[in-house]
């Protein structure tokens, strides 16, 4: 097991290096000039050249990357062009908020998705199934911004049940997590429904039913664990969506997460922050998938971990 | 309040009209109280040598002090760190006497050497700031800027309370330059200790000091009890970051927010404007701003002045103003109406599609041509770009729109071969100081027509360059009106002879504030400082 | 085929869905003849005096947008853009994802590993960010945007299919088939692919709505379909903050996206039931 884990960790490191190289290359060709941005609008050619030299942007590209990489090893992600602070500090400051939102969002998603998925599968093609799936569908096809604002209007502005904006107390996380959960649950519900239907038709489940086991017992003990397999993989993928995709929800609810930082950095072509956010997100995605791969054999012993 | 009023009255050359609009009698300022201000974007930096956006500008202004300053809500220069000053008859030597009471918030006295250090730091290329160019008229600035000198020889501090500037040429705007944030005084020992993080842990000698900064969440400012000028009205203010403008307005209506810094989003504007509370909630005021289309004068067929004039005549400015709910006035010239040198008599190019078509015909472009129009991707700019696109199509110009993030538009504009037409909205030129010359150098002069520069028309004309230099040499107070007249002529001549821009509108600034906020409109939309944190107050 | 048609005809919901998809496709094709106005025309009377968009009325049936353009005409033309994005981009993504996922899951050894590591690498990128950078580097146009969306979206499909394939490969009956000397192709197509179809259909049909919205996000970031070309996504996105002041701008296109996506989903379900091996001969 330890050797296996070691190998997977090395693979993960290789993936991260690949991400770093590709992102660095892509951002280098971004059609914006950081030196001119930093030098400001009253700069002359000499000042722009000066700044370019100081930022090390006049060096050959491989050397620039080498500098970045050696910094990275020391935990130095460089300094933001716009904010002038260390990227590591900026990113770290926002990670706790994102983790909280991510955990709560995934929880709501999975809880709703599992419940709806199982109910729909058991009542297959009935009215309940149709209604539940319709609901799941409305979520998936709704623009995040509108849903987030509607929830905020109703539950925060009018009813005053939750604070409108900010971070810190459990009450703050309810609406953002609910928005994410409602919009994402459709995917899980659909996946669970399909997987459950597939499993319920397997011979062993039919056998179990034929043996006279109760319906609940069959569903919970035999069918559900097998249907969980794609869900675990799905959560791994979801983390990736979360790191990049919660921008809108974070913006509406004033949630100080990494999505807002990324969005701003992209709007401002603040390359060091984009690099930093990408790497941290990639790290989270890689770890989540690693975890998903390690958990999968526990759920289904027939899968050997490769 | 008294001391400041007396002094500025003595100093003022003209008693500004701004004074009349100051503080209504019924809402006397109450001292104390803290308020909540919201913005969507992170605060960039509070380093006065670097910070240069309209969001951090007013906060930096309130954290630091400068030799001279503007009277709140006006463009009138008043003493600040400097108690008094003299200008030599040839306009080349400025000598300032410092206020002995000025202290940094770490307790140390402000000395003349600190100011010398601070301005040198702004110019120093190692600071990587945008400020260097502003101090160009000081002797030795060039050597400092290119890194060949470590001090500016034209700034001398013979003793702790005397500071002497020697200029290489007379500069009518020099006091304005010294009132810029970039001339703020910073304590050397703190700057050296904090290094690049000084912008996160600023120490100044201004009306407020920074208590707390939680990245991505909030900044808390409190009153500087040792401030050497009159105490600010507020005890402090909290700036909340990451607040979506629409939500900020909702919170403001509920009374959770006092100033929504990003203004009112178009989707909410008419609702609020037409509500019974509008008078208390909205501050709507002109600013030193012009939004325009730059026309790349080096690109075919835009190098033909007839085509540029046709573009000017084709744009339906009234319709564009309607699209943004009337929050601007159509513009016919480069300078905004508030700016000295604005020519009321000049009419510019009237909206005239037939006339534009005729000009296109004369230029041999009866069948039109294809080009690109760059614009920033935040609302309402893509909408305005589409309106312009439709107007140009009417005279046969097929403009493909590129709606991009701001830095990409700036990069395209600063590349001679790339952007043909650029809509400036969202990045429009807002004056650094109330002088017409600020609208020339970087955006219409040869100095800005460089790769990465802001002269996106790539307009560089020797004869105008000479006239501009001559106008700026007229630094004597009695020459002021004549100088403004010359500048007015320069700008109208550029437009009527060369038409490198199509001015579209002068946007007014709209700020939303809660009902409990007091003070004249001018201190919420100050011509040079954006928000006057020192002057605003809560009503009791 | 005949069986398929009669199956569909028996379910009224599926019938409606098929008709709706046909209507959307028809609207997209016939937009120039159906639209009452040009989708880009900004008539002077399309905005109120204060610059507000006009609600649905006799002249502009579905109202106007924030530039005073006729919403109905824009929706009709937008169907073209959105169908390309929703079908082509999404279809390509599912196809690539399925192929890579199955191969990586089934073929062990160097090839399978290499494929999966490549997928891991692609998946480690935050999707939106990758899309933005790619679209900024390539010149944004409808087909480039479709390509970018496909390039970003296949990864998730590949990962899910990979996990499921691995689960299937180890099942007894497949091992049994193998020991009986069945060829790889036979196992892949007879035994593995049919079990993966449900997931593929789920992704394919759910993806229609999400890709349409992803295109809108890209438009918003300035790397999507460039204005004034309409797409359902950017019609919503441009006006989403107006959902109080001008609800027709958000809820009409929203309902259309939803109805279309729902129809694809229903048809997908019907297809799934037809193709599912464990369902055959029942129901």
B276 to chain C, closest Cα gap in Å: 17
How many Cα neighbours within 13 Å face the side chain of B280?
Answer: 14
Place of tokens 């722009």: A48
Place of tokens 């996504």: C233
Q: Show the DSSP H helices in chain C as ranges.
A: 2-10, 12-34, 71-83, 90-106, 110-123, 127-137, 142-169, 172-179, 184-186, 193-220, 232-239, 248-275
Which residue of chain B is at minimal alpha-carbon distance from A50? B125
**Which one, of A229, A238, A204, lies nearest residue C164 by Cα?**
A229
Neighbours of A232 (CB within 10 A): 20
| β-bridge mates for residue B54, sequence order | none
Contacting residues of B for A46, CB less than 8 Å apart: 145-146
Which pLDDT score, from 0 to 100, does residue C121 have? 85
- pLDDT grade, residue B228 (50/70/90)? very high
Per-residue b or e along C122-136, where b marks 16 or more CB atoms closer than 10 Å to that residue's CB: bbbbbbbbbbbbbbb
Residue A132 at interface with chain C, using a CB cutoff of 8 Å = no
Judge residue C57's burial from the number of C-beta atoms within 10 Å of its C-beta, 0-12 exposed, 13-18 middle, 19 or more buried.
exposed
C13, A134 in Cβ contact below 8 A? no
Neighbours of A65 (CB within 10 A): 16
Which pLDDT score, from 0 to 100, does residue B451 have? 86
Residue B284 at interface with chain C, using a CB cutoff of 8 Å = no
B197 to chain A, closest Cα gap in Å: 6
Residue C218, preceding bond cis, omega within 30 degrees?
A: no
C-alpha B182/C-alpha B196 separation (Å) is 16
CA separation, residue B31 to residues B58, B405, B531, C204 (Å): 20, 42, 18, 64
Which pLDDT score, from 0 to 100, does residue A305 have? 46
Kindly state the percentage of chain A with pLDDT values over 70. Answer: 95
C-alpha B196/C-alpha B190 separation (Å) is 11
Residue C54 at interface with chain B, using a CB cutoff of 8 Å = no
C-alpha B119/C-alpha A65 separation (Å) is 35
* Dihedral over Cα of B327, B331, B335, B339: its sign: negative
C-alpha A87/C-alpha A92 separation (Å) is 8
pLDDT by residue (tens digit) across C190-228?
Answer: 878 888 887 788 778 878 877 887 887 777 666 778 888
Which pLDDT score, from 0 to 100, does residue A148 have? 85
Which residue of chain B is at minimal alpha-carbon distance from C237? B379
Write the residue in C44, C52, C228 that is nearest to B270 by C-beta: C52
Which pLDDT score, from 0 to 100, does residue B428 have? 63
**Would the pLDDT of C260 be above 60?**
yes
**Would the pLDDT of B220 be above 80?**
yes
C67 to B325: CB separation less than 8 angstroms, yes or no: no
B386 to C228: CB separation less than 8 angstroms, yes or no: yes
- pLDDT grade, residue A38 (50/70/90)? confident
Q: Which residues contact C127 (CB under 8 A, 6 or more apart)?
A: A240, A241, A244, A245, C152, C153, C155
Q: Look up the ipTM and state it.
A: 0.83
**Would the pLDDT of B22 be above 80?**
no
Which pLDDT score, from 0 to 100, does residue C4 have? 64
Contacting residues of C for A29, CB less than 8 Å apart: 137
**Would the pLDDT of A303 be above 60?**
no
C-alpha B319/C-alpha B351 separation (Å) is 11
Q: What is the largest CA-CA distance in chain A?
A: 85
Of the ranges A128-137, B174-183, C73-82, which one carries the lowest mean pLDDT score? A128-137
Which pLDDT score, from 0 to 100, does residue A246 have? 77
A26, C133 in Cβ contact below 8 A? yes
Determine the Cα angle at B74 with ends B72 and B75, to 5°.
Answer: 120
Reading the block at residue B5, the tokens are 């009023």
Residue A269 at interface with chain B, using a CB cutoff of 8 Å = yes
Write the residue in B246, B383, B400 that is nearest to C67 by C-beta: B383
Which chain A residues in 49-68 lie under 8 Å from chain B, judged by CB atoms? 50-51, 54-55
List the single best residue of A40, A149, A169 to mutate versus B (max B Cβ within 10 A): A40
C-alpha C192/C-alpha C102 separation (Å) is 8
Which pLDDT score, from 0 to 100, does residue B41 have? 87
C262 to chain A, closest Cα gap in Å: 7
Write the residue in A30, A134, A281 that is nearest to C126 by C-beta: A281
**Would the pLDDT of A55 be above 90?**
no
C-alpha B454/C-alpha B422 separation (Å) is 11
Residues recorded for chain A: 306
Kindly state the percentage of chain C with pLDDT values over 70. Answer: 92
Kindly state the percentage of chain A with pLDDT values over 90. Answer: 8
Contacting residues of B for C51, CB less than 8 Å apart: 270, 322-326
Residue A26 at interface with chain C, using a CB cutoff of 8 Å = yes
**Which one, of B61, B101, B74, lies nearest residue B14 by Cα?**
B74
C-alpha A12/C-alpha B367 separation (Å) is 59
Residue A42 at interface with chain B, using a CB cutoff of 8 Å = yes
B118, B186 in Cβ contact below 8 A? yes
Residue A45 at interface with chain B, using a CB cutoff of 8 Å = yes
Place of tokens 């460039």: C226
Give the residue-averaged pLDDT of B162-169.
94
Neighbour subunits, B (≥3 Cβ pairs < 8 A): A, C
Residue A14 at interface with chain C, using a CB cutoff of 8 Å = yes
Which pLDDT score, from 0 to 100, does residue B200 have? 93
Number of A–C residue contacts, CB under 8 Å = 158
C-alpha C63/C-alpha A45 separation (Å) is 51
B217, A167 in Cβ contact below 8 A? yes
Average pLDDT, chain C: 83
A36 to B129: CB separation less than 8 angstroms, yes or no: no
Place of tokens 């290789």: A14
C159 to A244: CB separation less than 8 angstroms, yes or no: no
C207, C85 in Cβ contact below 8 A? no
Which chain A residues in 172-231 lie under 8 Å from chain C, judged by CB atoms? 186-187, 190-191, 194-195, 197-198, 201-202, 229-230
List the single best residue of B272, B323, B403, B418 to mutate versus C (max C Cβ within 10 A): B403
B538 to chain A, closest Cα gap in Å: 23
Residue B318 at interface with chain C, using a CB cutoff of 8 Å = no
Write the residue in C128, C137, C160 that is nearest to A234 by C-beta: C160
Neighbour subunits, C (≥3 Cβ pairs < 8 A): A, B
Place of tokens 């100051």: B22
Q: Show the DSSP H helices in chain A as ranges.
A: 2-28, 34-39, 45-54, 61-73, 87-122, 127-140, 144-151, 170-200, 203-210, 215-217, 224-245, 247-252, 258-268, 271-299
B404 to C245: CB separation less than 8 angstroms, yes or no: no
pLDDT by residue (tens digit) across C92-121?
Answer: 999 999 989 888 888 877 888 888 788 888
B410 to chain C, closest Cα gap in Å: 14
C227 to B403: CB separation less than 8 angstroms, yes or no: yes
C-alpha C168/C-alpha C162 separation (Å) is 10
Region of B396 please: left (phi>0), alpha (psi -120 to 50) or beta: left
Contacting residues of A for B447, CB less than 8 Å apart: 44
Neighbour subunits, A (≥3 Cβ pairs < 8 A): B, C
Of the ranges A94-108, B101-115, B337-351, which one carries the lowest mean pLDDT score? A94-108
C-alpha A181/C-alpha A110 separation (Å) is 8
| β-bridge mates for residue B30, sequence order | B538
Which pLDDT score, from 0 to 100, does residue B47 have? 95
B405 to chain C, closest Cα gap in Å: 7
Residue C40 dihedral angles phi and psi, to the nearest 5°: -100, -10
A149 to C243: CB separation less than 8 angstroms, yes or no: yes
Neighbours of A257 (CB within 10 A): 28
Which pLDDT score, from 0 to 100, does residue B20 have? 35
C128 to A247: CB separation less than 8 angstroms, yes or no: yes
Write the residue in A195, A201, A230 that is nearest to C278 by C-beta: A201
Residue B324 at interface with chain C, using a CB cutoff of 8 Å = yes
C-alpha C83/C-alpha B446 separation (Å) is 49
pLDDT by residue (tens digit) across A178-236?
Answer: 888 888 888 888 888 877 877 777 777 777 777 777 777 777 777 777 777 777 777 77
pLDDT by residue (tens digit) across B464-479?
Answer: 999 998 998 887 778 8
pLDDT by residue (tens digit) across A283-301?
Answer: 888 888 788 777 777 766 5
Region of B358 please: left (phi>0), alpha (psi -120 to 50) or beta: alpha
Neighbours of A256 (CB within 10 A): 27
C-alpha A22/C-alpha A29 separation (Å) is 11
C270 to chain A, closest Cα gap in Å: 11
Write the residue in A39, A55, A157 that is nearest to B250 by C-beta: A157
Which pLDDT score, from 0 to 100, does residue A233 have? 74
A164 to B247: CB separation less than 8 angstroms, yes or no: yes
Which pLDDT score, from 0 to 100, does residue A236 have? 73
Give the residue-averaged pLDDT of C75-88.
91
**Which one, of C166, C164, C153, C163, lies nearest residue C96 by Cα?**
C153
B387 to C67: CB separation less than 8 angstroms, yes or no: yes
* 3 state SS of B518: strand
- pLDDT grade, residue B23 (50/70/90)? very low
Q: What is the largest CA-CA distance in chain C?
A: 79
Which pLDDT score, from 0 to 100, does residue B95 have? 96
Give the torsion through C-alpha atoms of C18, C23, C29, C34, to 10 deg: 180
Reading the block at residue C73, the tokens are 């005409």
Number of B–C residue contacts, CB under 8 Å = 76
How many Cα neighbours within 13 Å face the side chain of B73?
Answer: 18
Helix (H) or strand (E) holding B175: helix B174-178
| β-bridge mates for residue B505, sequence order | B291, B330
C-alpha C198/C-alpha C105 separation (Å) is 17
C-alpha B218/C-alpha A199 separation (Å) is 51
A233 to C163: CB separation less than 8 angstroms, yes or no: yes
* 3 state SS of B504: strand
pLDDT by residue (tens digit) across A272-286?
Answer: 999 998 898 888 888
C52, C67 in Cβ contact below 8 A? no
Which pLDDT score, from 0 to 100, does residue C280 have? 44
The DSSP code for B498 is I
| β-bridge mates for residue B312, sequence order | none
B270 to C245: CB separation less than 8 angstroms, yes or no: yes
Judge residue B345's burial from the number of C-beta atoms within 10 Å of its C-beta, 0-12 exposed, 13-18 middle, 19 or more buried.
exposed
List the single best residue of C38, C42, C231 to mutate versus B (max B Cβ within 10 A): C42
Strands (E) in B266-355, as ranges, are 282-286, 289-295, 328-330
C-alpha A105/C-alpha A184 separation (Å) is 9
| β-bridge mates for residue B506, sequence order | B329
A244 to C129: CB separation less than 8 angstroms, yes or no: yes
């Amino acid at each position: 097991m330890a050797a296996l884990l070691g190998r997977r960790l090395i693979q993960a490191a290789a993936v991260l290096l690949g991400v770093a190289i590709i992102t660095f290359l892509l951002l280098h060709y971004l059609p914006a000039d950081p030196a001119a941005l930093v030098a400001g609008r009253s700069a002359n050619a000499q000042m722009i050249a000066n700044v370019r030299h100081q930022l090390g942007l006049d060096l050959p590209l491989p050397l620039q990357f080498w500098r970045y990489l050696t910094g990275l090893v020391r935990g130095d992600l460089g300094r933001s062009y716009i904010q002038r602070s260390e990227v590591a500090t900026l990113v770290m400051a926002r990670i706790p908020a994102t983790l909280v939102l991510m955990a709560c969002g995934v929880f709501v998603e999975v809880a709703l998705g599992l419940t709806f998925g199982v109910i729909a599968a058991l009542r297959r093609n009935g009215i309940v199934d149709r209604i539940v799936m319709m609901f799941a569908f409305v979520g998936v096809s709704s623009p995040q911004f509108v849903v987030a604002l509607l929830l905020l209007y109703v539950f925060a502005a009018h009813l005053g049940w939750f604070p409108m904006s900010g971070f810190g107390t459990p009450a703050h996380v309810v609406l953002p997590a609910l928005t994410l959960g409602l919009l994402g649950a459709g995917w899980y519900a659909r996946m669970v429904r399909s997987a459950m239907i597939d499993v319920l038709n397997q011979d062993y489940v039919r056998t179990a039913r034929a043996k006279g086991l109760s319906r609940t017992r069959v569903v919970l003990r035999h069918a559900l664990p097998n249907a969980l397999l794609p869900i675990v993989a799905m959560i791994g993928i979801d983390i990736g969506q979360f790191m990049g995709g919660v921008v809108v929800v974070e913006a509406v609810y004033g949630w100080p997460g990494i999505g807002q930082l990324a969005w701003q950095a992209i709007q401002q072509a603040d390359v060091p922050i984009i690099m930093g956010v990408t790497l941290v997100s990639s790290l989270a995605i890689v770890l989540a998938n690693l975890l998903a791969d390690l958990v999968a054999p526990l759920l289904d012993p027939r899968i050997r971990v490769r | 309040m008294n001391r400041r009023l007396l002094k500025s009255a003595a100093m003022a050359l003209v008693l500004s009209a701004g004074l009349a609009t100051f503080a209504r009698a019924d809402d006397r300022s109450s001292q104390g109280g803290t308020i909540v201000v919201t913005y969507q974007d992170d605060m960039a930096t509070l380093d006065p040598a670097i910070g240069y956006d309209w969001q951090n500008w007013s906060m930096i202004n309130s954290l630091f002090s400068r030799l001279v300053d503007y009277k709140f809500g006006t463009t009138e220069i008043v003493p600040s760190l400097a108690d008094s000053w003299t200008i030599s008859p040839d306009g080349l030597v400025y000598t300032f006497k410092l206020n002995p009471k000025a202290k940094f918030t770490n307790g140390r006295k402000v000395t003349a050497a600190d100011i010398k250090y601070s301005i040198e730091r702004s110019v120093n290329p190692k600071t990587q700031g945008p400020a260097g160019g502003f101090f160009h008229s000081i002797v030795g600035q060039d050597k400092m800027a290119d890194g060949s000198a470590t001090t500016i020889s034209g700034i001398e501090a013979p003793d702790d309370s005397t500071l002497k500037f020697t200029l290489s040429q007379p500069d009518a705007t020099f006091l304005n330059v010294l009132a810029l944030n970039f001339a703020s005084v910073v304590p050397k020992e703190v700057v050296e200790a904090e290094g690049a993080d000084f912008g996160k842990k600023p120490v100044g000698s201004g009306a407020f000091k920074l208590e707390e900064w939680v990245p991505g969440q909030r900044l808390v400012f409190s009153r500087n009890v040792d401030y050497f000028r009159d105490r600010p009205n507020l005890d402090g203010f909290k700036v909340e970051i990451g607040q979506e403008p629409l939500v900020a307005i909702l919170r403001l209506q509920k009374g959770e927010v006092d100033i929504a810094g990003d203004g009112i989003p178009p989707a909410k504007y008419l609702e609020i404007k037409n509500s019974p509370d509008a008078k208390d909630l909205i501050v709507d005021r002109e600013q030193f701003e012009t939004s325009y289309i730059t026309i790349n004068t080096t690109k075919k067929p835009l190098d033909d002045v007839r085509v540029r004039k046709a573009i000017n005549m084709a744009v339906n400015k009234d319709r564009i103003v309607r699209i943004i709910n009337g929050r601007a006035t159509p513009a016919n010239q480069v300078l905004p109406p508030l700016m000295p040198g604005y020519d009321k008599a000049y009419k510019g190019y009237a909206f005239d599609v037939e006339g534009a078509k005729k000009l296109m015909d004369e230029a041999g472009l009866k069948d039109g041509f294809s080009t690109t129009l760059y614009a920033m991707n935040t609302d309402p700019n893509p909408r305005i770009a589409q309106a312009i696109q439709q107007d140009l199509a009417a005279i046969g110009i097929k403009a493909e729109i590129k709606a991009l993030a701001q830095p990409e538009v700036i990069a395209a504009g600063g590349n001679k071969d790339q952007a043909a037409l650029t809509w400036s909205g969202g990045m429009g030129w807002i004056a650094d100081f109330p002088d017409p010359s600020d609208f020339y150098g970087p955006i219409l002069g040869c100095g800005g027509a460089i790769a990465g520069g802001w002269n996106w028309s790539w307009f560089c004309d020797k004869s105008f360059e000479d006239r501009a230099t001559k106008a700026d040499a007229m630094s004597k107070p009695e020459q002021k009106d004549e100088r403004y007249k010359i500048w007015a002529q320069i700008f109208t001549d550029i437009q009527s002879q060369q038409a490198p821009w199509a001015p579209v509108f002068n946007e007014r600034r709209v700020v939303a504030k809660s009902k409990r906020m007091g003070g004249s409109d001018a201190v919420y939309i100050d011509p040079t400082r954006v928000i006057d944190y020192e002057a605003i107050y809560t009503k009791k | 085929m005949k069986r398929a048609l009669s199956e569909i005809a028996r379910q009224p919901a599926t019938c409606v869905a098929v008709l709706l998809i046909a209507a959307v496709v028809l609207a997209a094709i016939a937009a120039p003849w159906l639209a009452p106005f040009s989708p880009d025309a900004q008539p002077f009377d399309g905005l109120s005096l204060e610059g507000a968009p006009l609600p649905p009325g006799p002249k502009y049936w579905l109202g106007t947008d924030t530039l005073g353009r006729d919403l109905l005409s824009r929706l009709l033309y937008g169907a073209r853009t959105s169908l390309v994005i929703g079908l082509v981009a999404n279809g390509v993504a599912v196809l690539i994802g399925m192929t890579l996922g199955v191969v990586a899951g089934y073929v062990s050894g160097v090839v399978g590993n290499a494929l999966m590591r490549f997928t891991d690498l692609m998946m480690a990128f935050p999707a939106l960010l990758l899309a933005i950078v790619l679209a900024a580097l390539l010149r944004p146009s409808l087909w480039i945007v479709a390509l970018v969306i496909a390039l970003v979206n296949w990864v998730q499909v590949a990962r899910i299919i990979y996990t499921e394939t691995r689960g299937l490969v180890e099942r007894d009956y497949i091992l049994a088939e193998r020991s009986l000397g069945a060829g790889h192709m036979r196992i892949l197509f007879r035994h593995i692919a049919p079990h993966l179809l449900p997931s593929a259909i789920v992704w394919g049909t759910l993806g229609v709505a999400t890709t349409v919205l992803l295109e809108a996000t890209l438009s918003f970031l300035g790397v999507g379909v460039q204005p004034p070309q309409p797409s359902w996504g950017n019609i919503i996105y441009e006006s989403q903050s107006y959902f109080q002041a001008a609800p027709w701008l958000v809820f009409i296109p929203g309902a259309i996206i939803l109805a279309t996506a729902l129809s694809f989903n229903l048809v997908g379900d019907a297809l799934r039931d037809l193709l599912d091996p464990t369902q055959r001969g029942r129901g």
